[in-house]
């Protein structure tokens, strides 16, 4: 997986992960991947690299340059659960470079929400991307696979060294890399893969800087209530119910035609 960013000096940077194992179980072992940088100084016509970052604990990198010139790389770390039957654990971490990507400091982890997931599964924050607000605040928008109900975000006020506990966003069913950026209006635009049941679409979410800094507490989730901006996860539950109704309708239509359900 790769991400590209444009730097203030006109150069382009691509961050890409290279996985060494051939089977998924080996991905959970330490130090099995390499995160590499490629640089272009001629608008993408030619590239220098790969350059090693030394980041070997994490996949699906994102990269952004801040107004100070500092570079951020975010990666998704994965490791086995405490028992073989447990799901694997995943978290979002951040690395910093103040010398153009020659050396990197980190990891700086993004804390999970303090409350448990509504599904009882472990939190799985991953595939985060960054924006910088006018006041220097950083926001990392992340996919979350424990609940699989909505995207989350975290804030940093010290250039990415420390991060707030992740909070819920108004982006439901975010199950594919959120990609965040600033518009000329100053607003924040995020694209992501919206996935509900068997349906997958590309979604666009736009919010102002003021809205972006407003917190939504995880405890406010009510899956039985109508979907609202403060309760986006309910939209996912409503769509899941709609999908089940469609399947039931298909089964009834099939029964008229002599179809039979397939037992698995």
Local confidence pLDDT in tens for the 264 residues of the chain: 899 999 999 999 999 999 877 776 777 777 788 999 999 999 999 999 999 999 998 999 999 999 999 999 999 998 887 777 777 889 999 999 999 999 999 999 999 999 999 888 899 999 999 999 999 999 999 999 999 999 999 999 999 999 999 999 999 999 999 999 999 999 999 999 998 777 788 999 999 999 998 865 444 556 566 656 556 556 555 555 554 454 444 444 444 444 444 444
Q: Which residues contact 47 (CB under 8 A, 6 or more apart)?
A: 14, 38, 39, 40
What residue segments make up the domains of the chain, in order of their start? 1-66+84-109, 110-264
Give the CA radius of gyration of the chain: 20
Please choose, from the candidates 121, 100, 103, the residue with its C-alpha nearest in 3D space to the C-alpha of residue 112: 121
Give the helix ranges, DSSP H, for 109-172: none
Assigned token pair, 7: 């730097």
- DSSP conformation class of 47: -
Residue 9 Ramachandran class (φ > 0 left, ψ -120 to 50 alpha, else beta): alpha
């Amino acid at each position: 997986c790769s991400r590209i960013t444009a730097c203030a000096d006109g150069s382009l940077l691509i961050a890409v992960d290279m996985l060494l194992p051939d089977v998924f179980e080996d991905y959970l072992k330490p130090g099995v991947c390499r995160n590499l940088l490629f640089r272009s100084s001629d608008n993408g016509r030619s590239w220098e690299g790969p350059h090693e970052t030394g980041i070997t604990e994490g996949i699906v990198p994102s990269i952004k340059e801040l107004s100070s010139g500092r570079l951020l790389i975010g990666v998704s770390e994965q490791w086995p659960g405490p028992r073989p039957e447990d799901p694997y654990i995943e978290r979002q971490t951040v690395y910093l470079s103040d010398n153009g990507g020659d050396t990197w400091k980190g990891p700086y982890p993004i804390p999970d929400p303090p409350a448990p997931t509504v599904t009882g599964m472990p939190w799985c924050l991953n595939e985060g991307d960054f924006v910088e607000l006018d006041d220097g605040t950083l926001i990392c928008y992340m996919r979350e696979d424990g609940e699989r109900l909505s995207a989350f975000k975290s804030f940093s006020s010290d250039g990415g060294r420390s991060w707030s506990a992740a909070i819920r966003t108004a982006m439901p069913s975010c199950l594919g890399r959120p990609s965040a950026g600033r518009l000329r209006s100053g607003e924040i635009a995020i694209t992501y893969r919206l996935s509900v049941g068997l349906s997958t679409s590309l979604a666009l979410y736009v919010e102002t800087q003021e809205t972006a800094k407003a917190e939504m507490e995880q405890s406010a989730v009510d899956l039985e209530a109508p979907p609202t901006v403060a309760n986006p996860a309910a939209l996912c539950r409503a769509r899941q119910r709609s999908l089940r109704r469609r399947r039931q309708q298909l089964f009834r239509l099939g029964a008229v035609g002599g179809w039979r359900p397939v037992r698995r």
